[in-house]
Structures are given as structure tokens and as C-alpha cells.
Chain A
Amino acid sequence: MTGAPPSAARRRLLAAGGSLTLVFALGRARGQAENAAGAGKLPGSLDKEAWLDAWIRIDGANRITVFTGKAELGQGIRTALLQVAAEELAVAPARLTLVMADTARTPDEGYTAGSHSMQDSGSALRHAAAEVRTILARLAARRFGVEAGAVQAADGFMRAPDGRRASYGELLAGRQIHQRATGLAAPRDPAAHTVVGKSLARIDIPAKVAGAVAYVQDLRLPGMVHARVVRPPAQGARLLGVDLDAAARLPGVLKVVRDGRFLAVIADQEYRAVKAAMALARSTRWDLPQALPAAHDTAALLRALPGAPATILARGAAGAPGRVLRAAYTRPYQLHASVGPSCAIARLHDARLTVWTHSQGVFPLRAALSELLGMPKEAVRCIHVEGSGCYGHNGADDVAADAALLARALPGRPVRVQWMREEEHAWEPFGAPMLCEVQATLGTDGRIADWQYTVHSPAHNTRPGKAGNLLAATHLERPFAAPPPKPAPQPEGAGDRNAIPYYLLPNARVAQRFLGAGPLRSSALRSLGAYGNVFAIESFMDELALAAGADPLAFRLRHLDDARAVETVREAARRFGWERWQRPGRGQQRRGRGFAFARYKNLAAYCALAVEVEVALETGLVRVVRAVAAVDCGEVVNPDGVRNQIEGGIIQSASWSLLERVGFDSREVLTRDWGAYPILRFAQAPDRIDVHLLDRPGQPFLGTGEAAQGPTAAAIANAVFDACGLRFRDLPLDRARVREAGRGR
């Protein structure tokens, strides 16, 4: 974006207010220092969108509006970004209005994903706001006839030493600061922070506990109608026949749509749409081929898929002497399983399409919808409205495509599409299965002398950008083909995310065998491959420690040299009471402790975790009794927000790791409700979770939302081994598997 003129949308906004171009020579400051690595790069997303008035606008009444391309997904980013902007603008957070992810109004920050929001948008807002404050101070200094350094910003006013003051709005007189960020304005000294670093209560929660309009599901637009889609039983199914009239003759039905295998009904009332869709579904006849692999063993399924290994790390040489250990770990297809199924509203009016969506990426979605409908991008607007938590690429984009297609079928009316539970369970893009094969040589010095690792996995990212990434687009009479998925480059990676251990390994080779699209559609699920890779690496570290006769904690520390990693590991162990922990007396349930550590993506937050589990071999039930985490995510903006994310990550990962597996036979997905695909309920929740933060004021933000997923899985498996001597290398450690393994023990 840098160097490009303002977008059409931005120009429309600018036309409303007029702008102010002021160029001040700003001294070299932290903004530049932090970005010394990338010469001339501006902090975070400022590098893509440098116009200050794309981020911050102040009107004549001193109302301040802040813009971000990131979206609130329930992770609390709205509150954290407000804190960052409020701190630099020297106003209370409640004074700011934050506009999030809207293709007509906000910067394009791609997807809200990958624990990137604080790094991308938090950094951008911090530096944009610091620069705006600096410019306002210069304007005030000029007005007051004093030195800029003598002007103080507080509560939306600039004050001179003699008490004279002018509001930010007065200083700008209705104009905007339309100039590019330099990155040279100094953010506030962390020691002086009054808003950042504090546990400001989430600003969205009061509305949610009171039943106010809070979700896209709650929007009611004038003239809105309700639609439901009838899906094929499986992606490969062929429609042999359908009686459209079976639905069309029902009360309230406004339209029955058929385009190839894409079938839908639109009705005046929501439950009438539900009933009409059921009637339409009953009238369909399908050819359902045996297109899926019969193998239910994840390792066999993945070994059978084609794909050549690509080396992502080659260090030192193979062949070091010592004791060789080998193991293979798997993770099955798993669900995002949002509690609220996906929903969207679309309206086609005057050749312009507006879509209200809980997509993680409104700009990529706009591109995909514009291709799907053959409309220019400028004629499509995607507005983010919160939905149920998504944890990655769930049905959000697909339901937006459904709504767009149906809005085209019924122009002028807002069409609301609500997926049913069975649709979300069967058709969301699944978290991709993984097979992780590892071999290590343990030297006589008790260290890892050689490490070889290969991860086999299909696509972890099939997000839109292209129409073919939208489910309905692949079912049309003239279908859009899903573009061939590609692996993502290191260091972030996708299936190979965190496949490279964060340990000192003088001789190591790591490879990824990327398996393309796989038999079932898969895409980004919170932490992508980091979940399976950290599960494998951290389980194997315990296996190696056992072979080396070392304490698992001491063995890890032997292989860590990053001081922050060491401190995080030690902090988790200390808070858990690792050294003094004693196994409770043998009752019906066996207790054990387990440890795991990872630095997410090897470049974001550090997370170390110790858990205590109880294992009932008779029933196979494993429960985490207590979990203690230590997290270093750089400078902490909202401590309680980070704790909430880590607690949630631990419980969600415990649910994946103890319960979750997509079931399918040779024809179709079988796990289509919460009975067939259970997730963790209160009875299996821990007694206690403690999250300890190692705050690093002044250090860059390190994304934290996905940091706990991998360590939790491994810590549980390690604790189960400690409790009963059974090493589980296949996820999930569900009751059937544990009961079977524990038979006779």
C-alpha cells in the first residue's frame, strides 16, 4: 500500500472532512529502533497502510475514531487495541470509537489469525497514535507560542504550562492528519503507562450478558428474509433428482434456489425456512460414491497420500554415535466446532452487494465473492460483525458465500443464512490430520546428538481469496475449482509450524511431506500444525528424558539457551511446585504430572505448562486436575485478557486431546452433532488453572492466542504416562483408547 494513493473508499471519507498535511522533522525514536532489522519498514501494519488518517480520525467535536483491519473474534482484541490507542492518545479508552474490519472503512490487515493482531495492528496503532499525538503537540505549541516539549497531552486536550488548553479537535479544526507515518514518533515510556499493562474489563462483555445486539446472528435488517441451504451428503455426491415444488408449496416460502448441487430455500420466517429445507432435503436423491479412504488409522491414511518430503532444516551431520530412539505421533481430523453455527446476511441493491459476516478476513472474502458473483471488488462491501468464536477458518466465509448467492437470487432483500448444527459439523473445513515421525540419538553425555523429524500433513490453509475456496462455489452448475493448496514458508509455516524444535540440536534435519488437499477439506484450526508438532516433540522429549534417566524438566533445560525460554520453563515449574510434588496415594484414580514447553512459531509467545491429571483406567477417563502455565508474550497490554486466552487455550486443547476426532466412513462424515463429536463439558474441566505472566514492558508484542494449544496436548500425554506408565502417541486420549490400553493393568 505504501506509495499508493488512498483507496476509493478512503477518498470518499476524505472528501467529507478535508485534510491537513503537516510535515515535522521528528527525531529518531523507538519506532525506528524497533524496526532496525527491516530497513525503512514501518511498525506492524503501518508498513502496508501508512496514512495516519487511515488509522485515526478526530472530528471538530473532539470525537476520536480509531480504525483497525483486525476483527474481534472473542479473543478480546477490541479491548486490547483500544488500550494501546488510548495510551498513546492520552485519553480514556471509553472516549474512543473503534471501527473494526470493514472493506469500506478500515485498513486491509488481511486475516485476523495466527496470533498476529497485537504484532500487526497493536504495533501500527501504537506508532500511528504516538505520531498523531506528537503532531497535535506541535500544533498546540505553535498556537500557544511555546516549545513542543512543554505541551502536555491529557484527556483529549493539549495544555500549555500556563494552563491554556486546546482540544485535539480544535487544533485540527475538522481536518484530518493526512500524511504518512514516519515511524519516528516516540511511543510513551512504558514506565509511565496508565492504560496499557492494566486489566481493563472487556468492553464487549456487558452487552453480551444483557442480550443486547452483539452478534451477526442478532442483526435484523428491514425486510430481512431467512434462508437455509440443503447440502449434498458428501463433497463427491451427485444430485440425481430433486422436487423443488416440495419446498416451494410450503407456507412462507419465497424462493427455492437450485444451481447445480447448490440447493436452498428462502422464506419469510426463519423456522419456515428450516421446515422447507427439510422438505427439500427429503425430496433429493443422491449418488453417494465410496470416495473416502476406508482407513481410520490416521498414520495409514496419511502414509497412503502422495507428496514428496521437503527439507525445512538441515543442520550439522547425521550419524552421531549413541542410543537411537524412534516414535510416531498422530493427530486426527478435528473440528473448530463453534458453539454458534456460522451465519451471514447479504443484500444486493443497485448492483452493490453488502455482506455482514464474521469472517476472519473481510478483504480476502471480498475478493472471493467478487470472483464468485462476477462483480467488481468496488461493488462488494464486507462488514465484520462478531459471531460465535471461530478458532480459525470455520464456516464463516462459506456461509457468507451462501448469503451472497441467495441475495443475488432475491435482489433488494437482506437474506440471512444461518447454518444448522449438522452443516457446521459436517462442512466446516476441518483441522488437518498429522503424522509426526521422529528419530533421535541420545549421546553418552545425556544430550540429543542427532534429531530427525518428518511431519506428514495435508493443507492447513485453504482460506478464501479465491471463489473456489468457498464451499457453495464448488457445488454450482458451473463450479469454481478449489485452488491447489500450497505449503506456507518457514518460519511461520503451516503443517510444519513448530516442526523445528526450539532446543539446542547441533545435528538436526526436519522435513515436511505436504499432502495437498487430502480426502476431506481442511484448513486453519487454531495453531495449525503447531498443535501436532509440539505434541510430538514435547512427548518425545519426555521419552528421551526417561531414556537418559533425567528429570523431564532438567532434560529440557539442558537443551535450552534462550534466557526467556529458560525463565518461562522455570517459572511454570516453580509455580506448579514441580520439585516438591508428590504422587497422592493410590486410589481408584491414578495421578501424574506432566510438563511441556514451546515458543509459538518459534517467534511468538513462550508458553510452559505443568499439569496434574487423574486417570481412571477402568473407565478410560482422563481429567486434568490442575494446570499451571507461565507465559512470556513480550509487553502485556491486558494481563487478564492474556490469562483468559491461555486458560481457554488449555481447556480447548484438553478437549481436542482427550475427546475429539472427526469420524467418517467410505462415503461421508458421520460426526454431525455434539453426541457423535463430543467436546469437553464442565464435569471434565479442571479444578484449577493458573496462568502466570512474565511481563516485558518495552519489548515487542508477541502473539499469544494460540500459544497453549501444543504444550497442553503434550503435557497431558506426559502426565498420563507418569500416572500409569502408558505412552499415548495418537490423539485423542479418549476413553475407548485409554480403557483398551489399560486393560489388565
Chain B
Amino acid sequence: MSTYHLRVNGADYAVDSDPDTPLLYVLRNELKLNGAKFGCGLGQCGSCTVTLDGAAVFSCLVPVASVGARPVGTVEGLGQGDRLGVLQQAFVDEQAAQCGYCIAGMIMRAASLLAANPAPSDAQIRRHMQPNLCRCGTHMRILRAVRRAADASRAQPPKGQP
């Protein structure tokens, strides 16, 4: 066990963990953040997607010891309760979920795209979302939600949104 200092959603945390523990388990069990989900533990499905220094990563493959000072972003950091972030609201507006298990990962994958490219083409959105799996078949709505969020963000630049 060692102590690790993590910066998650803009807040600092100290957690005691075995060094090889994947970030996913630390986020879920130590920080009690539910957004990132266990899906495969193999980097094949994207359910566990979070941002690390703004880029989307599979948190199931990132040992906590390797995170260092890089800021971690989870879906909880985009908005909560009545104050949802632009992407979260777009997923609600498009009703882009069935079981919803993959959705937090989808949103974080999309967040990394919009942070780097606020005006993606439809083809760019599709290509960027490729690592993440949805089994319910909500793909069309997810693509529409990302499109909607991109358009909304450009129309009204968000304040303090990652």
C-alpha cells in the first residue's frame, strides 16, 4: 500500500492503494465515483473511459501509480443534478441511452473530442467514438447527442467546462 495524490474533477485526494490497482477501481471504490464503469478490464469496450490530462483513456488499464499529477476527469465533473453539463444535457435531450451502462464512458470519450476539436464533422465524431461499445444499439442517438453538444458549445461557449 502506498499513498497517492490524485487530482480528480478539480479536487485533490490522497488515497491509499496498491500501486498496480487500476485507476478505475480507485475512482469507484475509494473516491466513490460511479461514472467510470467496469466493462472488460482489457481496454476493449470503453465503459471505463475517463480523461487524463484532457485525453480519453481506459481507466481499467491505468495503474494508479502512473497517474501522477495529471488531472483526471470523470462524468461527475461535468455536472450534477439539475446542473448538467452541455454534453450530459445533450444526451438527455436526445434520450441517448437505453440501459445507459456505457453512457458515462461515451460522454467522456466525446468530451475529449470536443476539448480538442470544438467543431468536429460527423465523420470525425464517428471515428472518435469507435473505441466505445454500446450493446443496446443506441448508436444513432449517441452520435446525435455529440453533434448537439458540439453545436450547443459553439453557440454558447461554456464557462469552466472541461
Contacts and interface: CB of A to CB of B under 8 A. Distances in A.
Given A210-B88, A211-B33, A649 B99 contact: no
A488 B129 CA distance: 41
A652 B84 contact: no
16 contacts: A205-B92, A205-B95, A205-B97, A206-B92, A208-B100, A209-B84, A210-B84, A211-B33, A214-B34, A338-B101, A386-B99, A648-B98, A648-B136, A652-B137, A685-B139, A686-B140
Interface stretch (A11-19, A40-48, A71-79, A80-88): A71-79
A441 to B, nearest CB: 38
B96 to A, nearest CB: 8
Interface string B113-130: 000000000000011011
B104 A208 contact: yes
B47 A340 contact: yes
Interface in B23-43: 25, 28-29, 32-35, 37-42
B72 interface: no
Contact of B25 (A202, A271, A648, A649): A271
B150 interface: no
Contacts of B32: 220
B100 A214 contact: yes
A210 B75 CA distance: 6
A644 interface: yes
A339 B45 contact: yes
B99 A389 contact: yes
Given A649-B137, A681-B133, A75 B34 contact: no
A608 B2 CA distance: 60
Contacts of B132: 682
Given A209-B88, A681-B133, A682-B126, A339 B95 contact: no
Interface in A627-646: 640, 644-645
Contacts, number: 178
Contacts of B41: 274, 420-421
A428 to B, nearest CB: 12
A679 to B, nearest CB: 6
Interface string A643-684: 011011111100100000000000000000111000111110
Nearest to B98: A74
B141 interface: yes
Contacts of A679: 133, 135
A388 to B, nearest CB: 4
A647 B140 contact: yes
B114 to A, nearest CB: 15
Interface string B1-37: 0000000000000000010111001001100111101
A211 B98 contact: no
A674 B41 CA distance: 11
B47 A339 contact: yes
Q: Which residue among A212, A217, A682, A686 has the maximum number of chain B CB atoms within 10 Å of its CB?
A: A682
B35 A211 contact: yes
A680 B97 CA distance: 16
A215 interface: yes
A53 to B, nearest CB: 31
Given A205-B91, A208-B97, A212-B34, A674 B137 contact: no
Given A640-B95, A651-B139, 5 more contacts: A74-B101, A205-B95, A210-B35, A271-B25, A421-B42
Contacts of A205: 91-92, 95, 97, 100
B57 interface: no
Given A74-B136, A688-B140, A340 B37 contact: yes
A269 B41 CA distance: 16
A420 B42 CA distance: 10
Interface string A325-354: 000000000000111110000000000000
A259 interface: no
A313 B18 CA distance: 64
A57 to B, nearest CB: 28
A674 B42 contact: yes
A673 B42 contact: yes
B135 A211 contact: no
